[in-house]
Amino acid sequence: MLTLYRTEGIILRVRPFGEADRILTILTRTEGVIEAVARGARRPRSRLVGATLPFTQIQAMIFRGKSLDNLSQAEIVNTFSAIREDLLRTAYGTYWCELAYEFMGQRDPNEEVYLFFLASLLMLDSTDDPGLLSIYFELRFLAQLGYRPALDCCCGCGKSMAEGGAGSFLTSSGGLLCSSCTQSNASGEVLSAAAVGFMRMLLVWDLRKL
């Protein structure tokens, strides 16, 4: 017997399936990232047409399946129309959705991350500076998933990095290198003191202040 559950979610990906269906990748509040079939969602008169578009926030009734769930009902909460209607906002929103898909595990619920993702979409829907918002989103989103960049100590020697101090960023280590370690490691991306200070600031700033 199939289990029916109710959840809130945001559509990350949509792809066609069969003649009239869609397969949705959904970031949900209670189930993590899931994939579900929306039967008949590509038919013009389907009640699921509007609720199965990218970025849409929905309240959904879903049947749990072995490999794919089945979307039974969906009520639109927010369409984020300003994101869809602006090419730049759409590009950033699509990038965020890809980050969520790549870094969040299937059926690994994280309500805090879900709420942050939702709050970020709300800001993207209205901000005048989507580029700055996206930098903030990248840092904070990855930090919430355990990938917070190490900005206080050198990843090479462990030396304390002075507040706002310059250095280079080594992607493979996820943190800063001091000036001495930078000289012996050419793969680091050199950052100014201002850039390091900016990253530190974004990691503690309230989203609403952007």
How confident is the model over 32-42, as pLDDT tens digits? 999 999 999 99
Q: What is the mean pLDDT of residues 106-120?
A: 96
φ, ψ of residue 76 to 5 degrees: the values are -70, 130
pLDDT at 209: 67
pLDDT at 31: 96
Q: What are the residue ranges of helices labelled H in 60-192? A: 81-84, 87-103, 111-124, 130-144, 179-183
Q: Which of 64-78, 173-187, 193-207 has the highest mean pLDDT?
A: 64-78
Burial 158-181 (b: 16+ CB within 10 A, else e): ebebeeebbbbbbeebebbbbeeb
The pLDDT-based confidence of 156 (bands split at 50, 70, 90) is: confident
Separation of alpha carbons 65 and 76, rounded Å: 23
Q: What is the mean pLDDT of residues 60-83?
A: 96
pLDDT at 164 exceeding the cut of 80: no
pLDDT at 120: 97
pLDDT at 41: 96
pLDDT at 61: 98
pLDDT at 206: 79
pLDDT at 22: 98
pLDDT at 190 exceeding the cut of 90: no
Q: What is the mean pLDDT of residues 67-84?
A: 96
pLDDT at 210: 62
pLDDT at 1: 66
The pLDDT-based confidence of 182 (bands split at 50, 70, 90) is: confident
Question: Poorest-confidence range of 78-82, 137-141, 175-179?
Answer: 175-179
Q: Are 116 and 122 in contact (CB under 8 A)?
A: no
pLDDT at 166: 65
pLDDT at 47 exceeding the cut of 90: yes
CATH of domain 3-78: 2.40.50.140
Q: Are 155 and 170 in contact (CB under 8 A)?
A: yes
When computed from its CA atoms, the radius of gyration of the chain, rounded to whole angstroms, is 20
- Domain ranges for the chain: 3-78, 85-144, 151-199
Mode of pairing for the β-strands spanning 32-38 and 69-78:
parallel
